[in-house]
């Protein structure tokens, strides 16, 4: 049995059975729908993704809130009763203040309990990207890495996790303040879909804009072909927000490249889905981040 535990949080959008197999712990995160606050834990009870996106698409107000330091303090206090060493792979600091809150909490707990060692790593990832990253780190753990080796490994690969996605609901981006009302209206009229990624600081950026969802899916495949390492067969995750048919199309297009060893399809949870809306599709893989 390892003397440490790997932890992530509620934006790690992978299947709860997979989380269970990885043996990771999850810190729930907050989303608010129609004025009511909820905690989302992808490793917990089954979540009704379809119902959530139906409400979002109907215009029900939805938002998120970062966890305050007290949440992390309480969690770290509890988990260090079992494990004195904790590796927390945290939601990107480029998208949330959770990383800073977790760092403050870890310092406070370690000052109170000097025998503990809590490392908080800014994953620079979100959603299934964070889930992909978690799986890679846990696989390294299972190869026999000790705590220090795993911390170094996690730091070394986080910028190799490539996230590319297309958003179909520009109105949801408008509600979240990502684009203005005029951009949303014109984009909807012209059937324009932004292709987004994360930069080396874990911040979102629009890489380009494409007319038509089918062309957008082909662009995602093009990003995989361009940025995935050419000399290996790849594990990829395809994810979607209320768009299972689009996800299947994307999976089939990726398989046509002849470079796919494994392809999982996952749902985007409410913490990220509150900002992307539906439909949305993503592909995540190990490769080279676009400069």
State pLDDT tens for residues 191-245.
Answer: 678 888 888 888 888 888 888 889 999 999 999 999 998 878 999 999 999 999 9
The larger pLDDT score, comparing residue 35 to residue 184, is at: 35
Kindly report the pTM of this predicted structure: 0.92
Sheet holding 4-9, edge to edge: 25-27, 4-9, 85-90, 117-122
**Selection from 97, 105, 101 nearest residue 76 by Cα:** 105
Beta bridge partners of 208: 195
Does the pLDDT at position 177 exceed 80? no
Per DSSP, what are the bridge partners of residue 286?
161
pLDDT at 186 over 60: no
Q: Is residue 182 over pLDDT 50?
A: no
Cβ-proximal residues to 96 (8 Å cutoff; 6+ apart), any chain: 66
Mean pLDDT score across all residues of the chain: 90
Q: Closest by alpha carbon to 196, among 185, 186, 204?
A: 204
Q: Give the N- to C-terminal CA distance of the chain in Å, as an integer.
A: 40
pLDDT at 188: 55
The pLDDT, as a whole number, for residue 193 is 82
Cα–Cα distance for residue pair 172/130, rounded to 1 Å: 22
CA dist 160 and 235 (Å) reads 13
Instruction: Identify the CATH number of the domain defined by range 160-286.
Output: 3.30.1180.10
Angle, CA 41 vertex, CA 254 and CA 91 arms, to 5° = 65
Multiple choice CATH, 4-158, 3.40.50.2300, 3.40.50.10170, 3.10.20.90, 1.10.10.60: 3.40.50.10170
Name every residue whose Cβ is closer than 8 Å to that of residue 282 and which is 6 or more positions away in sequence: 127, 128, 129, 163, 164, 165, 166, 220, 237, 238, 239, 240, 268
Domains in the chain: boundaries = 4-158, 160-286
Which whole number is the average pLDDT over 167-182? 59
Label residue 137 by pLDDT band (50, 70, 90). Answer: very high
Instruction: Tell me which residue of 171, 123, 148 sits closest to 12, measured CA to CA.
Output: 123
Q: Which two tokens stand for residue 287?
A: 């490769």
Measured between alpha carbons, how far is 213 from 166 in angstroms, rounded to an integer? 8
């Amino acid at each position: 049995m390892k003397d440490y535990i790997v932890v992530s949080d509620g934006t790690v959008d992978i299947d709860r059975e997979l989380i269970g197999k990885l043996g990771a712990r999850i810190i729930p995160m907050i989303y608010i729908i129609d004025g009511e606050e909820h905690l989302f834990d992808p490793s917990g009870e089954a979540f009704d993704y379809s119902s959530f996106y139906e409400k979002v698409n109907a215009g029900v107000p939805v938002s998120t809130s970062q966890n305050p330091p007290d949440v992390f303090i309480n969690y770290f206090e509890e988990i260090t009763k079992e494990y004195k060493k904790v590796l927390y792979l945290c939601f990107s600091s480029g998208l949330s203040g959770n990383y800073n809150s977790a760092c403050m909490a870890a310092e406070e707990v370690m000052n109170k309990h000097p025998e503990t060692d809590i490392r908080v790593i800014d994953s620079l990832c979100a959603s299934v990207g964070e889930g992909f990253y978690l799986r890679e780190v846990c696989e390294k753990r299972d190869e026999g890495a000790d705590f220090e080796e795993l911390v170094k490994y996690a730091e070394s690969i986080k910028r190799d996790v490539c996230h590319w996605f297309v958003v179909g609901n520009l109105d949801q981006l408008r509600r979240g303040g990502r684009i203005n009302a005029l951009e949303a209206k014109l984009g909807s009229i012209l059937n324009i879909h932004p292709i987004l990624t994360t930069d080396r600081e874990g911040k979102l950026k629009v890489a380009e804009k494409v007319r038509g969802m089918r062309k957008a899916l082909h662009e995602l495949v093009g990003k995989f072909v361009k940025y995935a390492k050419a000399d290996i067969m790849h594990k990829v995750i395809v994810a979607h927000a209320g768009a299972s048919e689009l996800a299947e199309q994307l999976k089939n297009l990726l398989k046509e490249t002849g470079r796919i060893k494994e392809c999982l399809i996952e749902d985007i949870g409410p913490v990220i889905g509150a900002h992307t809306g539906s439909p949305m599709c993503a592909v995540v893989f190990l490769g080279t981040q676009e400069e």
